[in-house]
A and B are shown apart, each in its own frame.
Chain A
Amino acid sequence: MALKLGLLAGALAIAGGSAPTGSGAEAAVALPAPPANGEMGFILTAFAPAVYQGKDDCPDGLANTVRENYLQSLVPTERARLLLPASEPELTRRWKDYAVGPNNTNICANPELFDRPIQKTIQGKIAPGLNLDGKVSGAGAGACAHNNFVSPTGERGIDNQAYRALGCSRNYRGVDGTAGDAVRGYNNFLATGEHSMVLLLRGVDSLVNDDHVEIVFATTSDRPVLDSKRNFITGASFAVSDNPRWRNVLHGRIVNGVLTTDPADVRLTRRVGHGGIRGENLEWQFRQGRFRLAFQPDGSIKGLFGGYQPVRSVIEMTIVGGIGAATVAGIDCAAELKTLQKMADGLRDPKTGQCTGISAAMDVAAVPAFVMDRPITAMARN
């Protein structure tokens, strides 16, 4: 059987290591030789919007909830009346009604049918991400006008308009200074097997410098094994998805212990629920997607994945949440969608001139695993 095994990096338990911005000299000392067959497998433990909480990011407060937007839509006297404690039941009923439209539509399942104001956006200068359009300022070819961020490590030209649009929402901004529910939720989907993803690196001659590495970035249907602290167990086996649509081949290079890949379109399953009536088969979609990953001393890898997402797909998981996302979590999906559309900076439609995609950056972390690629015969058939 022509299965390709992505062999574990082996004992990468070395001293030192290299951050993405680490010096080449450090990396050269710290990183060991790769496995003899040049193949390394990983299971992703993190794939969620990259969040940097600067203190000046949201000077006017967090993005409004449905309730707040409803109150904002009222004349001041009516707003004041409804904010009285005695009016709470009425206010609750009315703002929840505000999330519902005619013909059984609602603000999250059908956000494009609701006209809501733009929500508060990131005002700070710093955000994690990659320079997707190659420009330090302004927009490159095929992009729309936007402001670039500076990365937390000082790199200029960072494209991450999705974070600009949603970074002031409660979903992104946890009250304790850490990332919000969006990050926890997305990473949890990796643990439950709903979005589980693998990386298979091939042709790795050196973890320090290698001018060509092939990367299979794929969905796996195999559920990760977690320990009692919900950490992923290393050395488990995973098969690349049978669906060729969710097997993406990227090419890249390693420089000073940091793997970067060339832009490529990427699709991965974004299943919600394990089938049945709750099952929804959505997709992660990235255009011009690329990695920047640093090999870590403990054998894991960490870094970013950046690319342009179709605007609506950025909040697709919330859309699937339907009315509950609006009335329980309080998310104003229509406001989020309108903001994303306004901030869209990529995938310009040559006919309309409108950008249909928005730059985004995902935090990525992965631990060693055995990754079984699809049999060559199956790939040929597809």
Chain B
Amino acid sequence: MLHRTARTALVIALPLVALGCMTGHLAGSVSAEMPAPIAASPEPLGQIVGMRRLTEAQYRNAIADIFGPDIIVAGRFEPIVRPAHQLIATGAAAASISPAGLEQFDAIGRGIAAQVFDPAHRATFVPCTSKSAAQPDDDCVRATLLPIGRYLFRRPLTNGEQAAYVRMASEATTRSGDFYAGLQLALGAMLVSPDFLYVIESAEPDPARPGEMRLDAYSRAARLSFFLWNTTPNDALLRAAAEGRLADPAQLAAVAQHMVKSPRLEAGVRAFFADMLMFEKFDDLAKDPIVYPRFNQDVAKALPEQLLRMIVDQLVTRDGDYRDLFTTRRTFMTRALGPIYNVPVVSRTGWEPHDFAATDDRAGLLSQAGFLSLYAHSGRSSPTLRGRAIRERLLCEPVPDPPGNVNFAVVQDTTNAVLRTARARLSAHASDPTCAACHRITDPIGLPLERFDGIGAFRAKENGVDIDVAGKLEDANFTGADGLGKALAGNPATTECVANRALEYATGKATDDQADLLAALDKGFAADRYRLPALMLRIASLPGLYEIHRAPAPASPVASSPATGAITGANR
């Protein structure tokens, strides 16, 4: 009975909400788009200046933080499309939800709501005893839903929202004769609301810049939380917003510093690099089992985690220099990965640290099997894909797609009796002038990784021929993965790129028009000896990060303002 009631309400609501999401009609009061029984809110929420759809990880983290890790989030998430050469975080700012995608969110939300108010969990979330198990109790509903709604919507519910959700719960209870079924329906509705599925950024007048706008306090809290921790704001952050502390640059910087020092920064760093290194490609990673019998699902599952553990160890745990990420010998192993690297793994379960010998060609992020297998074909390595990934993901230098009529026959012929190595095959392929231009910028930094096959396992020869791992990055000549890592570490574009990506990640906007700001950020990054947490703190503390500009942003909104001391390290 209740199930039918809930479905009826949602069936009505979903298409309308979906339509709002897709057409961007959610400006102004979000709840204005909500159909009855969620009536329009009497008070405005501020001018909406941005919407970013929650990523799957952010959704899961938010539910785990709000309701606990034992609440299962079961369902398939519609992916967010990555704009070319940008981040998913930027794609999230333009992401819609299809009707089918919203159906999935609906099913996931109802599953969560059913668990939250089941007999095993309801005592945790319902702070009162309803007057009757079968009758509505508006006070108890309000006492239950208001705290939850504050976390889900990342701000207090408006009066209109409160009334609508309480009424929804009461009516469902009346129909079903079950108080908790009413709560479930209301919570399920909250979980498909755009106020939850999207981080809606709203603005208020900026007293420091008359006539201009700035992000309001709760939007700042959300931006800080998702940027640094990849999750929804916690109670302390929401309180800081409510108390106005986030409007003051110094206090905001103090809050950001506290967050950067928290162990939860690891989640933020993981999410950032997963986005920057295109980890969504791991979802589709497949290798030919005939060519690579050592590759299996356990390996595939371990690869991204190994990369993230290496990154977190170098950049967070040891607060190390970002450039050393490309030369470090320290990584982490599991039993599943042991055969790929041909190293012993003592621990039967879990991860253990592993240091490659100083004489080993494996050094740094680029020689990890995760990077090497992600940027390779299913049955062979690819110096071009690897070189392109380094250019695009780590140096922020876009490489054009190949023309549609390219003949790849020579490159793909790995059993060619004459052209026995990838270097020889690529050399023949790139003799075509239309191909040569791009291969010149990708191959010299991909070929040094050729001693690692399509799954990242070491090989000294290809088709019986010694593999030549000479390489070149700009003017630097080197050999092997070790040499490539050092060349990358010594290239200024490497640090500029990560600073660029971090700013894009924080704002959800491309940084094409932020050259001066990026230059200043990189300068500050250097002053911090290229420590990533310090970079994230710098970005989080930038007053400009929270300013809203009517017109296209000035070239250097922060550097040109004396109030933007964050760049010069005043907040450190």
Contacts and interface: CB of A to CB of B under 8 A. Distances in A.
Interface of A: 1, 3, 5, 7-8, 11, 222, 225, 227-229, 231, 233-237, 239, 370, 372
Given A225-B296, A225-B336, A235-B339, 16 more contacts: A3-B346, A7-B344, A225-B298, A225-B339, A227-B296, A228-B290, A233-B293, A233-B294, A233-B339, A235-B343, A236-B335, A236-B338, A237-B344, A239-B346, A370-B344, A372-B344
B305 to A, nearest CB: 18
B345 interface: yes
Given A3-B346, A5-B344, A227-B294, A237 B289 contact: no
Nearest to A231: B293
A12 B287 CA distance: 25
Interface string B258-279: 0000000000000000000000
Nearest to A6: B344
Nearest to B342: A235
A372 B346 contact: yes
Nearest to B341: A235
Identify the 9 closest CB pairs spanning chains A and B, nearest first.
A227-B293, A370-B344, A228-B289, A235-B339, A237-B345, A235-B342, A237-B338, A236-B339, A233-B339
A232 to B, nearest CB: 10
Nearest to B292: A227
Contacts of B298: 225
A3 B346 CA distance: 9
Contacts of B343: 235, 370
Interface string B456-497: 000010000000000000000000000000000000000000
Contacts of B460: 11
Given A234-B339, A235-B338, A235-B339, A228 B293 contact: yes
A212 to B, nearest CB: 24
B102 to A, nearest CB: 39
A15 to B, nearest CB: 11
A231 B292 CA distance: 12
B348 interface: yes
11 contacts: A1-B346, A225-B298, A228-B293, A231-B293, A233-B293, A234-B339, A235-B294, A235-B338, A235-B342, A236-B335, A370-B338
Contact of A239 (B290, B336, B338, B348): B348
B463 to A, nearest CB: 14
A227 B342 contact: no
B345 A370 contact: yes
Contacts of A231: 293
B355 to A, nearest CB: 14
Contacts of A1: 346
A227 B299 CA distance: 12
Contacts of A225: 296, 298, 336, 339
From B290, B293, B344, B460, name the one whose CB has the most chain A CB atoms within 10 angstroms: B344
A327 B90 CA distance: 68
B57 to A, nearest CB: 29
A7 B338 CA distance: 12
Interface in B296-337: 296, 298, 335-336
A372 B460 CA distance: 27
A5 B345 CA distance: 10
Contacts of A372: 344, 346
Interface in B90-120: none
A196 to B, nearest CB: 13
Contacts of A11: 460
B293 A237 contact: no
A233 B336 CA distance: 11
Nearest to B344: A370
A186 B289 CA distance: 26
A239 B335 CA distance: 11
A229 B293 contact: yes
Nearest to A5: B344
Contacts of B336: 225
A285 to B, nearest CB: 27
Interface string B342-371: 111110100000000000000000000000
Contacts of B345: 237, 370
A239 B460 CA distance: 29
B518 to A, nearest CB: 44
A272 B298 CA distance: 25
B141 to A, nearest CB: 47
A229 B344 CA distance: 24
A237 B349 CA distance: 11
A225 B340 CA distance: 12
Contacts of A7: 344
A239 B338 CA distance: 13
B289 A227 contact: yes
B449 to A, nearest CB: 20
Q: Which of B289, B296, B298, B339 has the most chain A CB within a 10 Å cutoff?
A: B339
B294 A222 contact: no
A324 B343 CA distance: 44
Nearest to B460: A11
Contacts of B296: 225, 227
Contacts of A3: 346
B361 to A, nearest CB: 14
A229 B343 CA distance: 23
Contacts of A370: 338, 343-345
Nearest to B345: A237
A99 B290 CA distance: 47
Contacts of A236: 335, 338-339
B348 A222 contact: yes
A225 B346 CA distance: 15
Interface string B499-543: 000000000000000000000000000000000000000000000
B289 A8 contact: no
A228 B286 CA distance: 13
Nearest to A7: B344
A191 B290 CA distance: 19
A86 B346 CA distance: 63
A5 B290 CA distance: 30
A92 B343 CA distance: 56
Nearest to B288: A228
A7 B346 CA distance: 12
Contacts of B338: 235-237, 370
Contacts of A229: 289, 293
B295 to A, nearest CB: 9
A35 to B, nearest CB: 12
B466 to A, nearest CB: 13
B175 to A, nearest CB: 47
Contacts of A227: 289, 293-294, 296
Contacts of A5: 344
A228 B293 CA distance: 7
Nearest to A368: B342
Nearest to A11: B460
Contacts of B344: 5, 7, 237, 370, 372
Contact of B346 (A228, A234, A235, A237): A237
A4 to B, nearest CB: 10
A235 B299 CA distance: 14
A241 to B, nearest CB: 12
B486 to A, nearest CB: 26
Contacts of A237: 335, 338, 344-346
A237 B335 CA distance: 7
B360 to A, nearest CB: 14
Nearest to B343: A370
Contacts of A222: 335, 348
Contacts of A239: 346, 348
A163 B353 CA distance: 49
Contacts of B294: 227, 233, 235
Given A236-B335, A237-B335, A239-B348, A8 B342 contact: yes
Contacts of B290: 228
A309 to B, nearest CB: 31
A237 B333 CA distance: 11
Contacts of B346: 1, 3, 237, 239, 372
